[in-house]
Structure 1
Amino acid sequence: MENLNEKIKADIRVPVGLSVPEVVEFIRRCEAAGFHGVGVHDHHHSGRDVYVTLALAASRTRRINLYPATSNTVTRHPLVLAALANSLEEVAPGRTFLTLAPGFLSVESAGESRASLKKLREYVLAVRRLLAGEAVYSKGTPMRLRNRPRRHLPILLTASGPRLLQLAGEVADGALMLVGLHPGSIAAARRYLRIGAQKAGRDPQELEEIFIVPIAVGDREEVRQWPRKWFREGQPWMEYPSRSNLRWLREAGIDLPEGLDPRSISGDLADRICEAFGLFGEPEHCAGRLLRAREEAGVEHVFLFPAHDYQSGYQMPMAELEAFERVMASRLG
């Protein structure tokens, strides 16, 4: 963890919800607003490619970190991922990295199943070795990159459950993790990272931690209705992207059964969930909640994940950008 005297690094999720040139202009606004980084989702079914978008954004920005959030190892072969990562590093040296996961909407839209933990482990290690200049065998065929990054290019696992967190500690450079902001939840998540690191004989202190933080900026009473909504039919918002959210809420003293109709959640309970899970309210409140998370749990790097459902997932996070620009950036240092 970093020195608590330093500012909180804040990244934001940006969808490819507009044409690629328009998304690039939005990313330029994020840089001007003071964001540390931008993660763009890797959704093939959008008809727009994340790496093309990131490369163009890299050529139009100077400082901001740029990365896919998140690529999967099902629809992209490890050799392809390694080549994409190296290509992006050549355009934006020192300000990019990979985030990988078993897959969700992109895999689903391609009619495929998510990668098993065994396969994900194998593919993450393959990408790491390729980026390090090593040969990797695929069905008996040796693969090697002719060109590779001059520096160690980090690979983080996007993790929302204990097994993925352990795997991140074992084979990745850290985790982009959705575990909430409650100190009890964060302590539990860090235990799983530590278990994985120790299994591989690694130092847990060397792992990068980026906390995925759901955010909804606006009138407090209105935005704190999110836990009472559906992400899509049959999937409560609180179980997106997985039911692991409920595990971390239990660590925060909030016990919700799986499959609970979100409409049965009371206003008071929704308020408690929002306070434990993310940033919900006016910009001043959101900034203050992050500062408290730093003091209580050493949170130093966050990935702001604007609250959305299945239909609104491609809307540009304009309200969050403006709130950060006007209030949050100065409050966070």
Structure 2
Amino acid sequence: MTHHQELRVDIRTPVGRSLPELAAFARRAEQAGLSGIGVPDHHHTGRDAYLALAAMAQATERLSLYPATSNVTTRHPLVMAALLNSLDELGPGRPMLTVAPGFLSVEKAGKPQARRDHLREVVLTLRGLMRDGHADFEGHRLELFNRPASGAGKVVVLASGPRLLELAGEVADGVMMLVGLHPDGVEAARAHVRIGAERAGRDPAELEEILIVPFGLGDPGTVRAWPQGWFREGQPWLRYPSVSNLRWLRASGIDVPDDVEPGDVDDALADRILDAYGLFGTAEECADRLLRARKELGLQRAFLFPAHSWDTTYDLPEAEVEAFGEVIGPRLAESS
């Protein structure tokens, strides 16, 4: 049997239940064989992502735990650094930070998304605080008295567009990217990460790569409803969270214009989009697609992003975790 490097699979888990319930859910995810959990950092829910992660750290033994994702507008880098170190004290070596310009959190706070130059400065500041215990930020010297042990405390940039991918390559410890699973689309995105890394004199191979993998269980009619539907009024699902989704589909040979409307997507096009974009279908079909991605892309870490609309944003992915535990995880283990 051919042996493959272990594929780590994490899952998005929103703050849609009380913190004790979220901790219990994390325990079930760990028992199902998942490797990690990313929690959206949505203040407007009335639940703090880092407190949820702390509760999860105490309820589990090995899960990687991180915000997915924190914005750099409503959280100061010194605050995020202190939160990361605190999480590391509860689950040593398990937490990391993922940061981005912001989407729902900044929208709900009435703030604009962060500019790229600000994101760059924050990432460099966070890495300095994690590595050295100090960094200069906006003309002020910041200090962090306690920090994770050597090797912990990674700072990862979530990116979907080419300029953010280049920024991740330039300044971050890793990149978390939503670019689909088609080899041509992924290679086009990786090229931008390499450009950023080489611009900064860095080795792109040293960056951790996490592919965000949309995940929808169901029969053909059920899963086609995603590319043929809306995330929320005025925003087709195909343009959530970013219109950059369509760039990588085009790089994969699927010509979808930026102004695509759900009614423009017939069943044949929907099927092509779903195959290029993520895991869709029965649990068995999703397992096959993930194994194919490992073979075609050398995929080492996936972040499952359960398909949802605005109305279901905060539903826990119970069915997806069950499918992973019963079918997908065992299939991955068999093929290792």
For the criterion TM > 0.5, the same-fold answer is yes
1:139 offset after TM fit, Å?
4.8
CA distance in 1 between counterparts of 2:27 and 2:253 reads 40
Residues 69-107 of structure 1, C-alpha deviations (whole Å, 9 max, x = no match): 000110000110111111111111111111000000000
How many residues align structurally? 331
What percentage of residue pairs aligned between the two structures are identical? 56
Matches within 5 A, 1:228-267: 228-267=228-267
Q: Does 1:81 align with 2:80?
A: yes
Show structure 1 runs of 4+ deviating over 6 A: none
Match of 1:304 in 2: 304
Judge conservation of contact 1:4–1:298 (CA < 8 Å) in 2: no
Judge conservation of contact 2:168–2:174 (CA < 8 Å) in 1: yes
Unmatched tracts of structure 2, length 5 or more: none
CA distance in 1 between counterparts of 2:296 and 2:126 reads 35
Judge conservation of contact 1:12–1:303 (CA < 8 Å) in 2: yes
CA distance in 2 between counterparts of 1:291 and 1:243 reads 27
1:4 offset after TM fit, Å?
6.6
CA distance in 1 between counterparts of 2:155 and 2:27 reads 24
CA distance in 1 between counterparts of 2:156 and 2:207 reads 9
Match of 1:5 in 2: 4
Judge conservation of contact 1:4–1:300 (CA < 8 Å) in 2: no
Match of 1:281 in 2: 281
CA distance in 1 between counterparts of 2:318 and 2:280 reads 15
Query: Which piece of structure 1 moves more, 251-260 or 307-316?
Result: 251-260
1:310 offset after TM fit, Å?
1.1
Match of 2:37 in 1: 38
Matches within 5 A, 1:47-66: 47-66=46-65
Q: CA RMSD in A?
A: 1.2
The amino acid that maps onto 2:141 is P
DSSP-derived class of the 2:17 partner = coil
Unmatched tracts of structure 1, length 5 or more: none
Judge conservation of contact 2:26–2:59 (CA < 8 Å) in 1: no
Judge conservation of contact 1:236–1:259 (CA < 8 Å) in 2: no
Q: Does 1:196 align with 2:196?
A: yes
CA distance in 2 between counterparts of 1:85 and 1:41 reads 15
Cα distance 1:129–1:264, how it changes in 2: closer, same or farther (>3 A)? same
Match of 1:314 in 2: 314
1:141 offset after TM fit, Å?
3.4
Matches within 5 A, 1:167-182: 167-182=167-182
The amino acid that maps onto 1:169 is G
DSSP-derived class of the 1:103 partner = coil
1:168 offset after TM fit, Å?
0.5
Residues 254-277 of structure 1, C-alpha deviations (whole Å, 9 max, x = no match): 111112211221011001000000
CA distance in 2 between counterparts of 1:202 and 1:228 reads 41
1:130 offset after TM fit, Å?
1.2
DSSP-derived class of the 1:15 partner = coil
CA distance in 1 between counterparts of 2:72 and 2:139 reads 19
1:138 offset after TM fit, Å?
4.1
Residues 19-66 of structure 1, C-alpha deviations (whole Å, 9 max, x = no match): 111011001000000001111110000100010011111011111111
Q: Does 1:137 align with 2:136?
A: yes
CA distance in 1 between counterparts of 2:327 and 2:244 reads 32
Match of 1:295 in 2: 295
Matches within 5 A, 1:94-105: 94-105=93-104
Query: Which piece of structure 1 moves more, 36-45 or 130-139?
Result: 130-139
Judge conservation of contact 1:235–1:259 (CA < 8 Å) in 2: no
Judge conservation of contact 2:34–2:63 (CA < 8 Å) in 1: yes
Judge conservation of contact 1:181–1:293 (CA < 8 Å) in 2: yes
CA distance in 2 between counterparts of 1:224 and 1:288 reads 18
DSSP-derived class of the 1:51 partner = helix
DSSP-derived class of the 2:311 partner = coil
Q: Does 1:155 align with 2:160?
A: no
CA distance in 1 between counterparts of 2:148 and 2:132 reads 9
Residues 277-299 of structure 1, C-alpha deviations (whole Å, 9 max, x = no match): 01110000000001111111111
